Amino acid sequence: MSNVYDFDVKDRFGNVVSLSEYKGKVLLIVNTATGCGFTPHYDPLEAMYRELKDQGFEILDFPCNQFADQAPGSDEEIHEFCTLKFGTEFPQFAKIDVNGETADPLFAYLGTEKPFKGFGKGLKNAALNKFAAANNKKYGDKTYIGWNFTKFLIDRDGNVIDRFEPTVDMGDVKKAVEAAL
């Protein structure tokens, strides 16, 4: 695959969607969960989406239950939670796996293009690193994503230009998105 536009994914209704539909837009592709300590990231994500969508920005939300079973609901239950609690309007896709033999090809590609380099420094980050390492051990060399709310920034040509772990300040994520726009 040469860029993200070469991938097809399933929307929350099970319909196949070609990411080529997003050609020319700056994308932030995120694996999410409804019961994670990082779930409040939905607030700044939605605020960023509302502010920047008219400039050609899209957030693509992919729920995943591979991290401590923090997204256990159905696609519909997850969608209802996100819209009722956080008012999300950006596209939400079907729940997927992001690691292991069953990893969605899009996330295997993203994780290969911008590999995990750790959660950063500090006590919280060190604790998450340890917890994530134990959780992800079962995926071996097919561990592409370290934890929920990992974000990949895609330029208007479909190239992966940055990766943000969930521990990265959302203000820094927004600055990178604005620079890409």
Handedness of CA 86, 145, 105, 164 (dihedral sign): positive
Token pair for 173 = 């994520």
For the chain, list the domains and their CATH numbers.
4-180 (3.40.30.10)
- Residue 150 exposure: Cα atoms within 13 Å on the Cβ side: 24
Q: What is the pLDDT of residues 93-134, one digit of tens each?
A: 999 999 999 999 999 999 999 998 888 887 778 888 888 888
* Residue range 5-24, pLDDT digits in tens: 999 999 999 999 999 999 99
Q: Identify any residues that bridge with 61 across adjacent strands, giving them in sequence order.
A: 30, 92
Instruction: Identify the pLDDT of residue 96.
Output: 97
User: Is 64 among the residues known to form the active site?
Assistant: no
Whether the predicted pLDDT of 55 surpasses 90: yes
Backbone angles phi, psi at 31, to 5 degrees: -95, 130
Average pLDDT over the chain reads: 94
What is the reported pLDDT for 138?
87
What would the mean pLDDT of 36-42 be, rounded to a whole number? 91
> What's the pLDDT at 134?
84
Region 56-78: what's the mean pLDDT?
A: 94
Confidence of residue 1 (pLDDT cuts 50, 70, 90): low
Query: Is the predicted pLDDT of residue 171 greater than 90, yes or no?
Result: yes
Under a CB-based contact definition with an 8 Å cutoff, are residues 154 and 163 in contact? no
User: Which is catalytic among the residues 36, 94, 160, 173?
Assistant: 36
> Which residue in 65, 53, 54 sits closest to 91, CA to CA?
53
What pLDDT score does 21 carry? 97
What is the predicted pLDDT for the residue at 175? 98
